[in-house]
Copies of this chain bind each other. A is one copy, B any other.
C-alpha cells in the first residue's frame, strides 16, 4: 500500500463529496466513528452526518495546503491536512486543520477518527 497515495485519494474524495452533498459522507462513517468539531464531540455515522449537514453555510470550498500521512496502529492510516476554507460569498479564506484516521476494510476505508479545527488569526 502506498499510504501517501491512499491519503491523497481519500482527502480529494472526502472534500469533493463534502462540497457537493454532505449527506453522502454517511457512507464513510460507522458506529464507532468519532468526530471532534471545534471541540464538540460526536459519535456514530448518524450524529456525525447530522452535524456536518447542519453546518450554517450553503457552499464551501477546501484548498489543501499540506497533506501528511503515516501508518497508524493496527493497520490504520493517519492523515493530517492543513488548508483554507472559502465559505459562501466570503473572499477571505479561513485556515483549518483536519486529522483523519482511516480503517481499511477490504478495498475501502472508513473514518475512525476525525478532528476538525478552524485556525483563526
| Residues on the B chain within 8 Å of A99, using CB | 78, 80, 99
Residue A121, interface by CB 8 Å: yes
CB atoms of B119 and A80 under 8 A apart: no
Q: On chain A, which size bracket covers the interface? A: 20 to 34
CB atoms of A101 and B74 under 8 A apart: no
Q: A99–B65 Cα gap in the complex (Å)?
A: 16
Within 8 A of B (CB), among A69-121: 70-74, 76, 78, 80, 82, 95, 97, 99, 101, 103, 112-113, 115, 117, 119, 121
A binding-site residues for B, Cβ under 8 Å: 34, 36, 39, 65-66, 68, 70-74, 76, 78, 80, 82, 95, 97, 99, 101, 103, 112-113, 115, 117, 119, 121
